[in-house]
Structure 1
Amino acid sequence: MPLNILVNAIPLTNVHTGIARYTYMLYATMQAQYGSAINVTFFDGKNCLSTPPSGPQNISGWNALVDVFWKLPPSIACSVRNAVQIKRERAIANVIGDFDVYHETGFFPFACAAHIPTVFTVHDMSLQRHPEWHPKERVLFTETYFAKRASLADHIITVSEFTRTEFHSVFPELSDIPVTPIHLGASPDIFAQQSNIPELPDAYYLFVGSNDSRKHLDQVVAAVCAQNDLPLLVAGWNGWGKSIQHHEKIIPLGHVSDTLLAHLYSNATCLIYPSAYEGFGLPVLEAMQCGCPVITARNASLPEVGSDAVYYINGAVSPETIRHALNALRKEDRARYKQAGFVQAKKFSWKKTAQKTYDILQQTSYNYTQQNKK
């Protein structure tokens, strides 16, 4: 009998940033790896689907709608989130069947899956650790639901050892729930072909990610403007941060395709990614995989991903320390960082992620069945 898995695929209905990429790549790999041994059903917020839902067709329209939402007063925006949550819980209650295991890949588990063992992937604890980095409505929403719903999980997956430590530190009362760190993977398949590439500068620095304050994009922009040599290409949607500073050296690309992203990594002088807090830091891994030297900060999970294959900013992140790193990397052997990045990236793969996740889903289902036989 196949393992029947219910997946919260709502992240896939939004612009494909970190959680959506995790959900898509994990289950694409798992289905290719295990075939008929698993049967995956994707919940998109309304219905259960046999195939993964797709993201918004009109990304600019989606961005505009999100911008309007984030301009609402926090209490009203939180009420909207609560209403959507209740609607989705009713929807999943109407379509839920006798699945063997439910995998929550997003914010927190739905309450209506009590008769199904639950595996919950926690991506980071930034909302709890640093609420000042997030919209107030998101903080209020998380404070209302997260701890109560996380307690429903039979097993928790974290995307790094750092996040596992953070989860235990923030929620010691949930220490009875087993927590397993499983790294994300490098994605060779999505980088296989590069076509329809727009005209780009011959040489450039690269930043990948949203403009959230913890990413320090404003510091990167200030450093590159002061450096006055190569332009900075910025790939990623704006998020809830401030608009990017207008400057002839700054080229915002917005959300880009996987094909273009691979091309950007492969041809960049370096990726500048001095984030203050990451649950994993997928751009660091993707850049190393594409042979792009990486400048990052020695914060949170980033050393766990980059190890000694990246260049770390010394001291606090500022335009000055970023410029120092850019100048230091120019004087060093970039080929060494490129080769070291290739070696480090090979330690990560979606096949490993899929195998370890499948083992937990299967074991959680088995344990639940055995407990309910007693």
Structure 2
Amino acid sequence: MKIFLDGIVYSIQNFGGISVYFNELIRTLENENCTFQITTYNDKKQNPFPSNAEVTEISRFLERYRNCKINLNGFDIFHSTYYRNPDNKKIKNIVTVHDFVYEHYNNGLRKFVHSSQKFSSIRNADRIICISEATKKDLLHFLPDLDESLIDVIYNGVSNTYRPENIAHSEGQPFLLFIGARAGYKNFQVAAKSLEYLKDFKLVCVGGGKLSESDLSGLPSSIQNRIEHAGFLSEEAINHLYNQAFCLVYPSSYEGFGIPVAEAMQAGCPVVTSQCEAVIEIGQDSLTIVENLDAFEFSRNIERLFEKEYRQKKVSSGIALSKKYDWKKTHQQTLEVYRKALI
């Protein structure tokens, strides 16, 4: 089996869940008895996982929106990192669908361009991978005529870096942890405003860029002074924060999977979350689920974690469940999808 990976995502984003997904796939393929190539472009913003199989091409005008040029014959499988079709129609085309954020939360030309490319890629696929049942449900909502037998649900994995460190909570001011982007459907201000009812806590943010005026808009200064941005950290540093935090606060309205939730579970950090379908699918009984997107309700549910028995039950459940999310398992199942496509 000869596999062509289209590395266009490395030219689109500086860092993100999709590049993590494909970095782990490259790591798996390096250890498999198969031939593969990962093609990247000279305008890339990040490098993929180091591999002798990487080939760098000159980026054409509007490269990300064009069919992917395959520079050699003989490839059996094409797998794009971001919704492109191959220029060779004989090759088997695999698409991984991560979420439908654009379709739910964007409008106008931006949504039209993104969705047109995505839907074209999906409709031209020989097999489709969805990263959760919730994402599969969304896929069939937006493309109801799709042949469901072509879809495989394969969960994302979690890095082995995330693990319990057997340390107490932060020795200083106790803190809530917020990971990732903060705009729109991520509902950052719900997490921030919960500090109004949790006078002894601060909120530590990781990723998502520096705190902006819109992030802090409308918040009393007494709350703003208790919000910190830890910057862009290594996995080891984030794991340490998971272990020190009182909990991960995750009020997002929508996710395709919710990797920080699985990371926190594996690290032994309890999670307080909203009624997000994919997150509930991933976290199940280990989560503390808040019915409404309301800061007061979040604060009351966060306070439930003061109860030692309740907290330990959530932590133990999360650690046990997190074993389900393993990158090696994810990509062994991905290789099975490749084989199915060739039958």
Is TM more than 0.5 here? yes
* Larger helix share, 1 or 2: 1
Q: CA deviation at 1:142?
A: 1.2
Residue type of the alignment partner of 1:180: D
- Relative to structure 2, which stretch is displaced further, 332-341 or 348-357? 332-341
Residue type of the alignment partner of 1:350: W
Matches within 5 A, 1:35-54: 37-46=33-42, 52=48
SS of corresponding position for 2:177: strand
Matches within 5 A, 1:60-75: none
Find the aligned partners of 1:44 and 1:226 in 2 and give their Cα distance.
49
**CA contact 1:225–1:249 (8 Å) conserved in 2:** no
1:181 to 150, 153, 162: 153
Q: Residue 145 of structure 1 aligns with which residue? A: 117
**CA contact 2:209–2:231 (8 Å) conserved in 1:** yes
Q: Residue 8 of structure 1 aligns with which residue? A: 6
2:273 to 290, 296, 305: 296
Find the aligned partners of 1:146 and 1:95 in 2 and give their Cα distance.
23
Q: CA deviation at 1:105?
A: 2.7
Q: Residue 166 of structure 1 aligns with which residue? A: 138
**CA contact 1:156–1:180 (8 Å) conserved in 2:** yes
Q: CA deviation at 1:40?
A: 2.5
**CA contact 2:162–2:264 (8 Å) conserved in 1:** no
Residue type of the alignment partner of 1:163: T
TM-score by length of 2: 0.84
Q: CA deviation at 1:224?
A: 2.0
Find the aligned partners of 2:9 and 2:252 in 1 and give their Cα distance.
22
1:325 to 301, 306, 314: 301
Q: Residue 54 of structure 2 aligns with which residue? A: none
SS of corresponding position for 1:6: strand
Q: Residue 225 of structure 2 aligns with which residue? A: 248
Q: Residue 309 of structure 1 aligns with which residue? A: 286
* Identical residues among aligned pairs (%): 26
1:206 pairs with 2:173: no
Q: Residue 231 of structure 1 aligns with which residue? A: 202
* Residues 41/250 of structure 1: CA separation in 2 closer, same or farther (3 Å cut): same
* Residues 193/338 of structure 1: CA separation in 2 closer, same or farther (3 Å cut): closer
TM-score by length of 1: 0.77
Residue type of the alignment partner of 2:338: L
**Cα deviations across residues 285-327 of structure 1 (Å, max 9, x unaligned)?**
00000010111123221111101011111x2212122112112
Q: CA deviation at 1:12?
A: 3.7
SS of corresponding position for 2:156: coil
Q: Residue 76 of structure 1 aligns with which residue? A: none
1:340 pairs with 2:317: yes
Q: Residue 340 of structure 2 aligns with which residue? A: 363
**CA contact 1:228–1:249 (8 Å) conserved in 2:** no
Q: CA deviation at 1:191?
A: 4.1
RMSD of equivalent CA atoms: 3.0
SS of corresponding position for 1:112: coil
SS of corresponding position for 2:145: helix
Find the aligned partners of 2:43 and 2:225 in 1 and give their Cα distance.
46
Residue type of the alignment partner of 1:10: I
Find the aligned partners of 2:70 and 2:29 in 1 and give their Cα distance.
27
Q: Residue 68 of structure 1 aligns with which residue? A: none
Q: CA deviation at 1:192?
A: 7.7
**CA contact 1:227–1:323 (8 Å) conserved in 2:** yes
Find the aligned partners of 2:235 and 2:320 in 1 and give their Cα distance.
22
Q: Residue 187 of structure 2 aligns with which residue? A: 216
**Cα deviations across residues 95-154 of structure 1 (Å, max 9, x unaligned)?**
354311011232x1234242211100000122223326xxx5531321332222221110
SS of corresponding position for 1:93: coil
**Cα deviations across residues 4-27 of structure 1 (Å, max 9, x unaligned)?**
211122334533221111111233
Unaligned runs of 5+ in 2: 51-59
Unaligned runs of 5+ in 1: 55-80, 368-374
* Residues 10/200 of structure 1: CA separation in 2 closer, same or farther (3 Å cut): farther
**CA contact 1:212–1:241 (8 Å) conserved in 2:** no
Q: CA deviation at 1:235?
A: 0.6
Residue type of the alignment partner of 1:6: F
Find the aligned partners of 2:212 and 2:63 in 1 and give their Cα distance.
24
Q: Residue 101 of structure 2 aligns with which residue? A: 126
